[in-house]
């Protein structure tokens, strides 16, 4: 049983090592070829370990909290780790031909690889951390790697987008850090597990909660702090966009989830939770409306992320705010995680597929989609399948998520959120319709193409989001690993 216990450490160490190698000896093919399988193996270890032995808790350096930092791999973090591994793994393979290193190393061709590996390590660090300050470092790590990836294309627009992102991200970091400082001042520990056991009704803790929530909301691009996201994600190269849109906002959301459900489950006031829910709901509607209005493919997909992030925040009014777990709490909580994970797969698939369409067409106007079903059927199919998840249609993880959230909304009598969830699906159809419909048009003009093997990858990723909907029982149970027992019962 020592092997599974290694998994948390290795899931940070392996990509870090890969990043170091990528800096020194840029051989992407080799690195990807070794790292991705290795990470998948580590993930398998983690999943096995968590399934058999419950949450894996690793006190780094042998120092128990509060002195040391604990790495915690419970169901939730393992789920995010696995989703990250699958997504980034695929993205890296897709990126291979797009960031080649031949005789002469190029700027982007070199920089992409260490940045991608570092982002991977950073995300894993976030998902594993059981310490709020360590999370701060990891989140900053994510932010900085993201910034670099956003600006990777190096044109004024992208640099501008990166700077704008930086404003929000920096503010978020500051607010979060201040919150952490206040929490430490109040409680003398930053360990999530220990914080959970302490009363948290003092001023400092509550101010900290407000700051942390707002800061992370800004990083997650919750409406109305979302405006940085579309230009940033749309401007990056497609494989980078895939990682950014699929995973990066999830990292800060994950922390929010940890904070509200694990660290300070009793601190939340009902009105504040409703406020967060309302912002999420607005994000769904507003992001969708803007997505409909976009004329660029990548912008559209990016605005879709704004909308989809809104769903995540519905978990707060639906599952938060009570020490006594309600029967629907587990459903709502799991639903939001399902949404996060399936959205990760689907959004990454969509960005990659759109990227392929854009590569073939040479531009990212809507007409890049023309005749896609005929020219690049697999890409078109990948888009379609990921659209299914984004719309929350069965059979997909998106649907399972939406179903769970909806059930919770009705069970808890919060019908307004139910209405929004449903409306969001319809709106998603509205904005995804345009590109998908164009795929059926006859193609005009000259288009290149992308090798079939490359096209297959986004499709595989998209199918993952569907598989998550079809075989959702096992992930559901898995996610409950390490949750408080009362919440596991679910809605009868």
Q: How far is the CB of 274 from another protein (least distance, A)?
A: 9
Give min distance, CB of 264 to another protein, in A. Answer: 9
Q: Check binding of 59 to another protein (CB under 8 A).
A: yes
Decide: residue 266, CB within 10 A, 0-12 exposed, 13-18 middle, 19+ buried. Answer: exposed
Choose the stretch contacting another protein; rule: CB under 8 A; options: 28-36, 98-106, 348-356, 357-365: 98-106
Which lies closer to another protein via its Cβ, residue 226 or residue 347? 226
For another protein, the binding residue among 28, 75, 114, 235 (CB under 8 A) is 114
- Please tell me whether residue 449 binds another protein under the rule CB under 8 A: no
Cβ of residue 64: shortest distance to another protein, in angstroms? 10
Q: Taking CB under 8 A as the rule, does residue 19 contact another protein?
A: yes
From the list 313, 381, 447, 478, which residue makes contact with another protein (rule: CB under 8 A)? 381
Q: Which of 442, 444, 446, 451 binds another protein (CB under 8 A)?
A: 442
Q: Which residues pair with 56 in a beta bridge?
A: 73
Q: Which residues pair with 296 in a beta bridge?
A: 365
3 binds another protein (CB under 8 A): no
> Measured from the CB atom, is 84 or 334 closer to another protein?
334
Find the Cα–Cα–Cα–Cα dihedral 124, 234, 143, 349, rounded to 10°: 0
Interface with another protein in residues 262-321 (CB under 8 A): 267-269, 271-272, 275, 289-290, 292-293, 295
SS (H, E, C) 179-243: HHHHHHHHHCCCEHHHHHHCCCCCHHHHHHHHHHHHHHHHHHCCCCCCCCHHHHHHHCCHHHHHH
**In Å, what is the CA distance from 50 to each residue of 41, 60, 89, 226, 440?**
14, 18, 21, 35, 45
* Distance separating alpha carbons of residues 31 and 20, to the nearest angstrom: 11
For residue 118, which phi and psi values (nearest 5 degrees)? -65, -40
Footprint on residues 333-352 left by another protein (CB under 8 A): 334
Binding another protein (rule: CB under 8 A), the pick from 33, 34, 98, 140 is: 140
**Measured at the alpha carbon of residue 425, what is the angle toward residues 423 and 428, in degrees to the nearest 5?**
110
- Is 79 an interacting residue with respect to another protein (CB under 8 A)? no
Residue 43 token pair: 């993930």
Q: How far is the CB of 104 from another protein (least distance, A)?
A: 7
Minimum gap (Å) between residue 153 Cβ and another protein: 10
Q: Within positions 391 to 430, which residues make up the interface with another protein, using CB under 8 A?
A: 391, 393-395, 399-400, 402-404, 406-407, 409-411, 415, 418-419, 422-423, 425-426, 429-430
Considering only 344, 469, 481, 483, the residue that binds another protein (CB under 8 A) is 469
Using CB under 8 A as the binding criterion, the count of chain residues that bind another protein stands at 151
Q: How many CB atoms lie within 10 A of CB 416?
A: 14
What is the H or E stretch that residue 71 is in?
strand 70-73
**How far is residue 99 CA from its own chain's centroid?**
23
Of positions 23, 40, 57, 467, contacts another protein by CB under 8 A: 23
- Specify the residue, 33 or 66, whose C-beta has the smaller distance to another protein: 66
Q: From the CB of 371, what's the least distance to another protein, in Å? A: 8
Residues 112 and 122: beta-carbon distance below 8 Å: no
Cβ nearer to another protein, comparing 97 with 269: 269
Q: Does 174 bind another protein (CB under 8 A)?
A: yes
The reply on whether position 168 binds another protein by CB under 8 A is yes
**Residue 214 found at the interface with another protein (CB under 8 A):** yes
CB of 479 to another protein, least distance (A): 10
Distances (CA, A) of 303 to 225, 229, 241: 13, 8, 12
* Beta bridge partners of residue 57, listed in sequence order: 72
Q: In the chain, what's the furthest Cα-to-Cα distance?
A: 66
| Binding flag, residue 476, another protein (CB under 8 A) | yes
Report the 10 Å Cβ neighbour count for 442: 7
Under rule CB under 8 A, residue 108 binds another protein: yes
Q: Which of 54, 100, 188, 362 binds another protein (CB under 8 A)?
A: 188
Selected from 107, 197, 323, 444, the binder of another protein by CB under 8 A is: 107
Residue 491, both tokens: 């809605």
Nearer to another protein, 167 or 453 (CB): 167
End-to-end CA distance of the chain: 35
In angstroms, rounded to a whole number, what is the distance separating the alpha carbons of residues 135 and 141?
9
**Binder of another protein out of 41, 96, 204, 416 (CB under 8 A):** 204
Is residue 235 a contact point for another protein (CB under 8 A)? no
CA gap 276, 430 in Å, rounded: 25
């Amino acid at each position: 049983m020592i092997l599974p216990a290694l998994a948390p450490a290795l899931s940070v160490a392996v990509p870090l090592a890969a990043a170091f190698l990528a800096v020194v000896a840029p051989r992407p093919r080799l690195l990807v070829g070794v790292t991705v399988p290795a990470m998948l193996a580590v993930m398998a270890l983690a999943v096995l370990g968590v399934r058999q032995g419950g949450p894996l808790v690793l006190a780094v350096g042998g120092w128990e909290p509060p002195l040391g930092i604990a790495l915690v791999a419970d169901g939730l973090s393992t789920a995010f780790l696995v989703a990250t591994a699958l997504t980034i793994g695929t993205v890296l393979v897709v990126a291979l031909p797009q960031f080649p290193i031949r005789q002469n190393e190029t700027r982007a061709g070199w920089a992409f690889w260490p940045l991608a590996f570092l982002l991977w390590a950073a995300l894993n660090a976030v998902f594993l951390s059981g310490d709020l300050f360590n999370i701060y470092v990891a989140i900053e790590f994510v932010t900085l790697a993201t910034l670099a990836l956003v600006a990777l294309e190096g044109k004024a627009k992208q640099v501008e987008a990166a700077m704008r992102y930086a404003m929000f991200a920096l503010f978020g970091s500051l607010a979060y850090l201040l919150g952490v400082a206040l929490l430490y001042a109040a409680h003398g520990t930053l360990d999530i597990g220990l914080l959970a056991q302490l009363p948290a009704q003092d001023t400092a803790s509550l101010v900290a909660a407000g700051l942390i929530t707002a800061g992370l909301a800004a990083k997650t691009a919750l409406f109305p702090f979302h405006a940085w996201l579309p230009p940033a994600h749309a401007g990056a190269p497609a494989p980078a966009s895939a990682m950014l849109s699929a995973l990066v906002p999830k990292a800060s959301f994950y922390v929010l989830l940890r904070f509200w459900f694990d660290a300070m489950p009793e601190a939340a006031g009902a009105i504040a939770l409703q406020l967060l829910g309302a912002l999420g709901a607005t994000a769904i509607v507003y992001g969708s409306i803007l997505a409909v209005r976009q004329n660029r493919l990548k912008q559209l997909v990016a605005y879709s992320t704004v909308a989809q992030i809104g769903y995540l925040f519905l978990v707060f009014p639906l599952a938060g705010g009570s020490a006594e777990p309600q029967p629907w709490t587990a459903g709502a909580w799991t639903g939001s995680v399902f949404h996060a994970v399936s959205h990760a797969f689907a959004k990454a698939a969509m960005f990659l597929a759109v990227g392929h369409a854009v590569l073939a067409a040479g531009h990212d106007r809507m007409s890049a989609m023309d005749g896609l079903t005929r020219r690049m059927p697999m890409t078109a199919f990948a888009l379609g399948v990921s659209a299914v998840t984004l719309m929350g249609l069965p059979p997909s993880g998106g649907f399972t998520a939406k179903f769970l959230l909806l059930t919770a909304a009705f069970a808890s009598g919060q019908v307004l959120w139910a209405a929004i969830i449903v409306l969001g699906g319809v709106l998603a159809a509205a904005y995804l319709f345009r590109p998908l419909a164009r795929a059926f048009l006859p193609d005009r003009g000259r288009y290149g193409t992308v090798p079939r093997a490359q096209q297959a990858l986004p499709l595989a990723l998209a199918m993952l989001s569907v598989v998550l909907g079809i075989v959702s029982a096992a992930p559901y149970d898995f996610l409950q690993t390490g949750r408080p027992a009362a919440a596991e019962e679910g809605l009868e």
